[in-house]
Amino acid sequence: MLSSYAARVEQSRGRRHPEAPHPYRSEYQRDRDRVIHARAFRRLTDKTQVFTRRYSDHFRNRLTHTIECAQISRTIAAQLGLEADLVEALALVHDIGHPPFGHAGEKALDAVMREHGSFFDHNLHALRIVEDFEQRYAAFRGLNLTFEVREGIIKHSRDYGAQDYPQLAEYVLDLRPPLEAQLIDLTDEIAYNTADLDDAYEAHILRLEDIRAGVPLFDQYYREVERRYPDVREKLKFNETLKRLLNTLVSDLIENTRRECERAGVSSLDDVRKHPKRLASFSGEMGTTRGQLKEFLYSNFYYSEPLNSEKLQTEAVVTELFEHWTAHPESLPASYQEQAEREPIHRVVCDYIAGMTDSYILQKYAVLSGGNEEFRVKN
């Protein structure tokens, strides 16, 4: 049963290039399937989430993070009576625009683009991937996704001002996105905060006592688990605790979003769009735990020594390859040389690098840095 404020598939604004309906898949199911079959989606398997694969293959990569985010999103969508296929499509596509090496790669790519008076934004890049770079169909470039999926790619995590982004005018920037898209940023956060605790603990970067001291709700659950399972080993107690924390975050998001919708008196998608603020949100109480969790991960994990040393190296790889290809466009693959006839070289090189997996960019770097003095850092 869908709720009255769901973004019902039959109300979709449709595709840029009209297509005949599929006999048994809804339009949002088709969008989800197109995302799964996209090349950029497959590449997520070899893109860093937080840990590069060199560290260990036990940890999340961008693809497994994406799948976890989709699982959480579907559960929440079902409870709120939202269009689960739209939510799933948006969760599966939400990180498709990420360059290699996670946040470090993004930061490095943005920094070199700024030297050319531009910037890198993974949401805008994701839109370019689905609208242009993916080539699977005879009748059009891109995946020809429905309006709501393209809109959600742009609007799930932040607001883009109409004045600064005239190219996004079609996405009604003055209106809020449907709840299906609003959810994604928060489910993404639930997925990575809990997964990062898990991976960092497993990697022995975070210690149990520090997590307990930094995140009081985690400590409360750990005490409960210890009472119930006094004899199991620590890792299993940790798992049980993390499961409770994840469950609480999800339940709070469901209940608070439902409450916010009631309080705002929204009874249609149009009401959701016109409401002055986003309705998908955590309660104030959970906001405190969320803040503690983030703060803990920032001060103890994301900038910790094991991650930091690798970050500097990966930033250098991105920066040096960017400089190399902007100076030597003749060494780019033919399709990018063609693109360079229509677009500035820094944009073309940025697109080329952003599409790469971690291992592909390292392979390119190893070849190009061999005996070339222009490259300073050796892998």
Nearest to Mg ion of 88, 188 (CB atom): 188
Nearest to Mg ion of 93, 321 (CB atom): 93
CA distance 211 to 202: 13
Nearest to Mg ion of 61, 144 (CB atom): 61
**What six digits make up the tokens of 178?**
């449907």
Map tokens 């609003």 to a residue.
182
CB of residue 365 vs Mg ion: minimum separation in angstroms? 25
CB of residue 199 vs Mg ion: minimum separation in angstroms? 14
**Contact string (CB under 5 A) for Mg ion, positions 181-200, x = contact:** -------x------------
Q: Is the dihedral of CA 14, 17, 18, 21 positive or negative?
A: negative
**Contact string (CB under 5 A) for Mg ion, positions 48-87, x = contact:** ----------------------------------------
HSE-up of 123 (CA within 13 Å, CB side)?
19
Residue nearest to Mg ion (CB): 188
Distance of CA 129 to the CA centre of its chain: 14
Mapped onto helix, strand or coil, the DSSP state of residue 153 is helix
**DSSP assigned state of 106:** H
Report how many residues bind Mg ion under the rule CB under 5 A.
2
Binding segment for Mg ion (CB under 5 A), chosen from 10-18, 95-103, 247-255, 353-361, is 95-103
Which parts of 124-153 interact with Mg ion (CB under 5 A)?
A: none
Nearest to Mg ion of 188, 199 (CB atom): 188
Contact 183, 257 (CB under 8 A): yes
CB of residue 42 vs Mg ion: minimum separation in angstroms? 17
Nearest to Mg ion of 90, 332 (CB atom): 90
Nearest to Mg ion of 15, 94 (CB atom): 94
Structural element, H or E, at residue 124: helix 122-128
CA distance 344 to 362: 25
Residues 6+ apart with CB under 8 A from 167: none
**DSSP assigned state of 61:** B
**What six digits make up the tokens of 207?**
């210690």
CB of residue 69 vs Mg ion: minimum separation in angstroms? 6
Residue from 46, 95, 196, 252 that binds Mg ion (CB under 5 A)?
95
Residues that bind Mg ion (CB under 5 A): 95, 188
